[in-house]
Structure 1
Amino acid sequence: MTETQVLNETGTTLAFSTDYKRIAVEEAWAPQQLLDVYRTELAAGNISDPGFNSLWGYYLGNTERASALSARIVEAGPNRLAAMDAAGVDVQILSLTCPGVQILKTDIARTLAVEANNILKESVDAYPDRFYGLTAIAPQDPEHAAQEIRRGHDNLGFKGVIINSHTQGEYLDDKKFWPIFEAAESLNTPIYLHPNTPSPQMIQPYVESGLDGAVFGFAAETGLHLLRIITSGVFDRFPNLKIVVGHLGEALPYWMWRIDFMHATSVKSRRYEAIKPLKMRPSDYLKRNIWFTTSGMPWAPAVEFVRDVVGTERVMFAWDYPYQWDPQEVAALDALPWSIEEKKEFFQGAAEQVFRL
């Protein structure tokens, strides 16, 4: 193994392998125009979603962390590249930050999604060796979203689709959204299902206890969303659909045995109208149609567990910039007791295969 040393921005010397690229696949970005719209909507009280008001009411505030985040997230140039270089990250796949345009009125959302994609294309073109992009869509209009997926793939050269989980309390298992799945599957382009704060229907116990965000609410909401997609039969209808999910699967790999057991029990009992027989067990779809990233979860025991239960080829690196990123993280993951081949698959190969880089 060849190794290099870098003095990162904190003054710490990091050592990491140079035998493979490190491709970080869940890296947030937003055009300034979108943050301006968020700020206007918050000031006017136009959005009633408690999760959005909690999340962006904070990140558009005046604290040191909020100011740093809002400055970093709109930048896809020298400062972002410097942070990457300081930690040994070679490439970022950029995607529109949560909740994207999904919180906005449909006409505004459509326009902003197109504009955001055009702006992101400029950044990707400026640094083609360092950045790739995912297509932002407005699921509020599924047919327009499908068209934008095709434009992102065919005209902009983007490598997948970003969906920031629920859209104003609606979930993708609703068949009205299935044109989105149809477009993604037909193009063999993956959907990254990124967390959102819990929907208005479920958020109250989370927000009143301060647990609505990344500490727990994100995982509870997105794990629910992904499980709804599985149990609704989406992957029986779209067997070649690829979905990527962060935070090591929002805890679903840990629950696989119990999910299979209780799903089979529910099917047999006919207790729920929504639970129908599937062609496979729920866990089988997690092992066939889902890929898992380490965004926000660079914890060796959890990484090893998920690799063990879903397969090493389905787990890949993400850095969660600029929300939860640590310059030491890459060196720590580089130090895991894996072979060079396993590390190359984790940092580079899986991303190249899934996103067709």
Structure 2
Amino acid sequence: MSQNDITPQRPAKEDYKRIATEEAFAPPDLFDMYRKVLADGKADAGFTSLWAFYLSSDAARPQHIRKYIQDLDTARLAHMDEAGIDIQVLSLTSPGVQVFDADTAVSYARTANDYLAEAVRRHPTRFVGLAAVAPQNPAEAAKEIERGATQLGMKGIIVNSHTQGEYLSDPKFWDIFAAAEAFDMPIYLHPSTPPPKMIEPFMEAGLDGAIYGFGVDTGLSALRIITAGVFDRFPKLQLVLGHMGEALPYMAYRLDYMHRATVAANRYESMKPLKKRPSDYLRENFYVTNSGVAWEQAIRFAQEFMGVDRVMYAMDYPYQHVLDEVITLDNMNMATHDKKAFFQTNAERVFKIG
């Protein structure tokens, strides 16, 4: 019998729901719009490297992604059932609308959110939606957050790490934070390919994507938000970071030490004192998901550092769809209450599910 003839073991029914919190979708016309951006030759190197490949390659992985990322009905639900996933928290795939010009981005964010809201209405017990916004126009992004919260039933916001090389730490974007705090909507800060000023050495080594570049850029984006004083201005704001917090929890001691030393040295105009340590903001203003990291030691460390109530499950579908990973996490040596918090109750609280 060949390896391909072996039916994978399916996750067993457990005493908790499995809520997957970083799961991607794409409306049917999004890839045509991405192809147009590529054809225009105006996209940055990161977008071009990523999407020129995923939209054209015949390799198994990009074919799988193209086939299933646009399905919000039968095939996706079958995959969820196969993996024992009760609920997916859905968000527009990266870079979403952040690659478009401002007017197109504002318009298509509304279109994508309407499309997602309709899917949630079709499958209200299986899907939860995060609203996409266009940082290119922060005032319109704030309006879309309000619409998502008050009209569409969205449970959070999806924003990718940078917008054409600009980061949310710039105060011109802070209308987005104000609206998120006002409507009690968590922002999922999702990876994108590194911007032009950063990407070249990653691309030389094939490290610009999910293997490393995504995490480096998204961790940078989150840390810029912290050191810019965003949480001193918006203390109730909550962000979510995938992939075990893009490594920031594991760097917390050094971040605290070097932030304190850098501020004391008055080395950078951009590095000012904060009311708290960077690690305090990580513990109080961030949640992390394990998306793509089925590794008990990393999850347990994050729980110890962040608190059990701030670490959640994610699969990263359809980019990562591995049944064995679900089984591995079911078998973690963890107190029953803590495991239920990881898979179910934290997500229910953060995204107001139920």
| TM-score of the alignment, normalized to the shorter chain, above 0.5 | yes
Cα 1:140–1:19 shift into 2, 3 Å: same
TM-score if structure 1 supplies the norm length?
Answer: 0.96
Equivalent residue for 2:255?
259
Report how far residue 44 of structure 1 moved: 2.9
Letter in 1 for 2:303: R
* Native 8 Å contact 2:11 2:326 kept in 1: no
Is the counterpart of residue 99 in structure 1 residue 87 in structure 2?
no
> 1:250-270: CA deviations, max 9, x gaps?
010111000000000011110
- Counterparts of 1:1-357 in structure 2, within 5 Å, are 11-47=7-43, 49-63=44-58, 64-357=60-353
Letter in 1 for 2:351: F
Letter in 1 for 2:246: E
* Native 8 Å contact 2:8 2:323 kept in 1: no
Letter in 2 for 1:97: T
Letter in 2 for 1:352: E
- Aligned partners of 2:275 and 2:13: how far apart in 1? 43
Report how far residue 13 of structure 1 moved: 2.8
Letter in 1 for 2:210: A
Unaligned runs of 5+ in 1: 1-8
- Aligned partners of 2:124 and 2:255: how far apart in 1? 42
Report how far residue 308 of structure 1 moved: 1.4
Letter in 2 for 1:32: P
- Aligned partners of 2:321 and 2:135: how far apart in 1? 29
- Aligned partners of 1:272 and 1:324: how far apart in 2? 40
User: In angstroms, what is the RMSD of aligned CA positions?
Assistant: 1.1
- Aligned partners of 2:305 and 2:336: how far apart in 1? 21
Letter in 2 for 1:220: V
Equivalent residue for 1:3?
none
**Which stretch has the larger CA shift, 14-23 or 113-122?**
14-23
> 1:23-71: CA deviations, max 9, x gaps?
0000001101111100122123232x11000110111013232122111
Q: Any runs of at least 4 consecutive aligned residues in structure 1 with deviations exceeding 4 A, and if so which?
A: none
Cα 1:125–1:43 shift into 2, 3 Å: same
- Provide the secondary structure at the position in 2 that maps to 1:280: coil
Letter in 1 for 2:178: E
Unaligned runs of 5+ in 2: none
Report how far residue 343 of structure 1 moved: 1.2
* Native 8 Å contact 1:16 1:330 kept in 2: no
| Number of equivalences | 348
Report how far residue 88 of structure 1 moved: 0.6
Report how far residue 215 of structure 1 moved: 0.4
Identity of aligned residues (%): 53
